[in-house]
Chains A and B, each alone.
Chain A
Amino acid sequence: MHNLTISQISKGLENGDFTSVEITQHFLDRIKQLDQGNDGFNSFITVMEAQALADAEAADKRRAAGNATAWTGVPFAHKDIFCTDGTLTTCGSKMLGNFIPPYDATVVDNFKQQGAVCLGKTNMDEFAMGSSNESSFFGGVKNPWNKATIPGGSSGGSAAAVAARLVPAATGTDTGGSIRQPAALCGLTGLKPTYGRCSRFGMIAFASSLDQAGPMTQTAEDAAMMLNVMASFDEKDSTSIEQDLPDYTATLNNDIAGKVIGIPKEFFPDSLDGEMAKTVRDAIAEFEKLGCTVKEISLPSTDLAIPAYYVVAPAECSANLSRMDGVRFGHRCEDPKDVEDLYKRSRGEGFGDEVKRRIMMGTYALSTGFYDAYYVKAQKIRRLIKNDFVSAFEQVDIIMGPVTPSPAFKAGEKSGDPVEMYMEDKFTLSCNLAGLPGMSIPAGQINGLPVGLQMIGNYWSEANMLNMAHQFQSHTDFHKQAPQGIE
């Protein structure tokens, strides 16, 4: 039962093969069995057992009353970055270790409207800063494919939970690769939509101009179903964009013959691991079998993405995290002697090393005398990167390449070297800087660990990306492979 996809569960509920309470209980049991304890995956920070069962019961009643939608009664999980009314929302940080929001994020509300059943809140890098889930205050997450390796980050809990079939799908957020990289390392389908497609209201901000929510699923079809719920125009988010909301499942079976795939030479540098290059190129060759053509292109500013990103994202986060001051919510130090002491100790104790590092980098980059050299220059680079893509999409329908330089690495391997860790996102950052949609789909394995194929689409072309991904998955079975012992 736990290997069912969202689409299969939806049909099963519709056909009366099982009730929402039954399938919800089944996944809750798996979480108890496999996620907790020393040997567990640790992919959940909070399991909402009582609430989930109550929601499942309500969903079954709604179905009986004839008001069910495709999502009514379907279990899933939220990354712990989304505010959930009345349920602990930590963002992976000690700072918010006691924060119970009095409101729902728009994305959370969208699922509630459908009657979907949230099983819990998944582990993540602290404030979404990290590529291995090792910066979480609640401990690292084990990759179900090999417990010695990391699941990727920052949406590492969501990725591990879906890969271990503790939930059929989960939400993620992606600021520089935080959906695509863990999806790649855990063998999942992950989609970061166009900036402005999903509301950021209630999604705890890391870097506001880059953050975007998206689905993490087993299949492209599930991702389409999930994006149907997640995407919405929201007046509460001024950067949300009013744009037609297609039914993303409606075009999954369109013929993709004739689509032109761009392969940027910068995504296949000489330094790229040969096996990684081959696996990705082999996957692209599958598209050629489906009638697509391939074109070599160039995105000359690609190498500038890492330095630009590591100015813009820390700069924005340095301001976004200022509200975590120990005054109104969250961690507060014991017996502050004055307000200065309250700030220094609450923040000093509440934030982990990686968060502090980024706040300091961002503060520095925005300081008088450095602003032009860093922030302004980074914004110029952003425009260059965007322009690269705009010219590329005049020639091609989609861009493909690797998601990561390598498959999942061992826990602890890079955690001592931040720059090495930052290089993990070298292929995913440019997408966020340009605001474009990016996707990762399973493309094969290296040494028994999954590898992802990255697809970057033009603005608002999610339907096309999902269509191509679904066609690929209809002719391959990389996405069906699950970690050993799971099936």
Chain B
Amino acid sequence: MEWEVVIGLEIHAQLATKSKIFSGSSTAFGAEANTQASLVDLGLPGVLPVFNQEALAMAVKLGCAIDAEIGKVSVFDRKNYFYPDSPKGYQTTQLHHPIVGMGHIDIDMEDGTSRRINVTRAHLEEDAGKSLHEDFSGMSGIDLNRAGTPLVEIVSEPEMRNAKEAVAYFKKMHSIVTYLGICDGDLSQGSMRCDCNVSLRPKGQEEFGTRTEIKNVNSFRFVEQAINVEIERQRDILEDGGEITQETRLFDANKMETRSMRSKEVENDYRYFPCPDLLPIVIDDDYIEAIRKTLPELPDQKKQRLITEQGLSEYDAGVLTATRELAAYFEEVAVKCSDYKLAANWVMGELSAALNKNDVDITTSPISSDNLGAMVARIKDNTISGKGAKSVFQALWEQKGDNVDALIDSLGLKQVSDSGAIEGIVDEVLANNDGQVQNYINAEPDKRGKMIGFFVGQVMKASKGSANPGMVNKVLKEKLDSKC
């Protein structure tokens, strides 16, 4: 039977607020355990939550960016369950009245096509602490530094049909929240995590199959892998005539499998009810419009601008705007050298290759955007050749200098573009290679083009590589053709 895959994602993004969603504690990552947990985060008797307005502004920003309905009245609910890293015995979240309602984003596929995916909702909630099961023999440690960190949970419609679409969706959402500056997007530190809901149904059937939820997948690659192995697992069961159990599963990247965490029958009854300690959040159009005005240029807009105003290809513009950091770096290079296409070639070519090879992130690139821009500018004004630029690039990468012009001088890469000097060298080369000149003259005109390469090589050699190859070509052609 032919199966259709149905995927929906729930993305948790930690908001980049200075303090927690209901207390004044810092949200910085990596502090010593429990040093960023206040009375409120510890859930001591008697303490009360106070909602952080910065988290509200960020959630509304997200809503505006994905063209969503914004909840004018949104309500916090308590989700009741016991777990040691949940200090109050309930999580404060939003069930029935989320801050962000139905919206949508466009995802970009590798083949250049794009597809619209609807976003069901996004709501505010608090993150839990962490249970530490190592280092404590026979016991568990609890670190509540993360408890109370604001999250938006962004829930998609079940509209993705394969793992690649799911990854494209996750990447696009990652790009949007980082462009907005509402999340640092650091997957390795858990700033963004993804739950993947996966089900299969016979192709053509409208009704959804039973789904499973793969919890807490924390990289783009794992999302693709986890979904694919889960699709295979479900397909095997269904084709053997079995039934899928609705349950929560965990992805094990080492074993390349998903395994059951808990089935629906033993799942908690969360007993949601409105949190009586927090008033409903009431906002008006003026508030929303004021936030909308602060939206930065978003990835899709930036991409479009690079295509229509700077003449980049759809593909190049897509790659360069995929992350906020890369886009920012690229635009700094482009502005500095005032040639977007040339800048795109170097950022996507030499720089990306070097970054990949050495596993370095664009934000910690050894070559600053300023220096790369300065270098590209010297290509553009013919000071150096493309080949010479590679030497400059290498020197910059190895931190052998921080001033592009000084490096060009010290490496002796300055091109000779003075036509008189080039003519002198050309004349000398022609005089010393009379046989080749004669061959050129006697050759069929359409074969002469290939033969000119010999003379170019000789001129470059004579100039120790410093002659501007374009000019050399031009002068040679003029002089040789005049002899024919």
Contacts and interface: CB of A to CB of B under 8 A. Distances in A.
Q: Which of B42, B45, B90, B273 has the most C-beta atoms of chain A within 10 angstroms of its own C-beta?
A: B45
B46 A322 contact: no
Contacts of A319: 78, 80, 89-90, 271, 273
B209 interface: no
Contacts of B354: none
Q: Which of B49, B82, B140, B272 has the most C-beta atoms of chain A within 10 angstroms of its own C-beta?
A: B82
Nearest to B270: A368
A323 B278 contact: no
B273 A200 contact: no
Contact of B45 (A83, A238, A366, A368): A83
A95 to B, nearest CB: 9
Contact of A368 (B39, B42, B46, B269): B269
Interface string B75-100: 00010101010011110000000000
B49 to A, nearest CB: 7
B101 interface: no
Contact of B48 (A89, A91, A201): A201
Nearest to A200: B48
Contacts of A205: 45-46, 277
A91 B45 contact: yes
A380 to B, nearest CB: 14
B48 A237 contact: yes
A329 B140 CA distance: 16
A239 B279 contact: yes
Contacts of B39: 102-103
Contact of B46 (A203, A207, A239, A343): A203
Given A238-B278, A366-B80, A368-B269, A204 B46 contact: yes
**Chain A interface residue bracket vs B:** 35 or more
Interface string A60-90: 0000000000000000000000110000010
B82 A89 contact: no
Chain B residues touching A, majority SS = loop
Interface string A223-253: 0000000000001111100000000000000
Contacts of A343: 82
Given A101-B46, A204-B46, A238 B51 contact: yes
B47 interface: yes
Contacts of A209: 276
Interface string B33-52: 00000010011111111110
Contact of B50 (A99, A235, A322): A235
A114 interface: no
**Chain B interface residue bracket vs A:** 20 to 34
A83 B51 contact: no
Given A202-B47, A204-B45, A327-B142, A322 B90 contact: yes
A75 to B, nearest CB: 24
B112 to A, nearest CB: 46
A368 to B, nearest CB: 5
A315 B273 contact: yes
B45 A96 contact: yes
Q: Which of B42, B46, B140, B276 has the most C-beta atoms of chain A within 10 angstroms of its own C-beta?
A: B46
Nearest to A241: B279
A200 B49 CA distance: 11
Given A209-B276, A339-B84, A324 B46 contact: no
A77 B51 CA distance: 32
A425 interface: no
Contacts of B42: 328
Contact of A236 (B50, B78, B84, B272): B50
A103 B38 CA distance: 11
Contacts of A471: none
A256 interface: no
A363 B78 CA distance: 13
Interface string B256-290: 00000000000001011100111100000000000
A202 B45 CA distance: 7
Contacts of A367: 269, 271
A205 B277 CA distance: 10
A323 B273 contact: no
A201 B276 CA distance: 13
Contacts of A102: 39, 44
Interface string A206-217: 011100000000
Contacts of A330: 45
A236 B140 CA distance: 32
B46 A202 contact: yes
Nearest to B45: A204
Given A91-B45, A238-B279, A375-B273, 5 more contacts: A83-B45, A236-B50, A237-B48, A328-B87, A371-B273
Interface of B: 39, 42-51, 78, 80, 82, 84, 87-90, 140, 142, 269, 271-273, 276-279
30 contacts: A83-B45, A89-B45, A89-B46, A99-B45, A101-B46, A103-B39, A201-B47, A207-B276, A208-B276, A208-B277, A236-B48, A238-B49, A238-B50, A238-B51, A238-B278, A238-B279, A239-B279, A315-B273, A319-B89, A322-B89, A323-B45, A327-B87, A327-B142, A328-B43, A328-B87, A328-B142, A339-B140, A368-B269, A371-B271, A371-B272
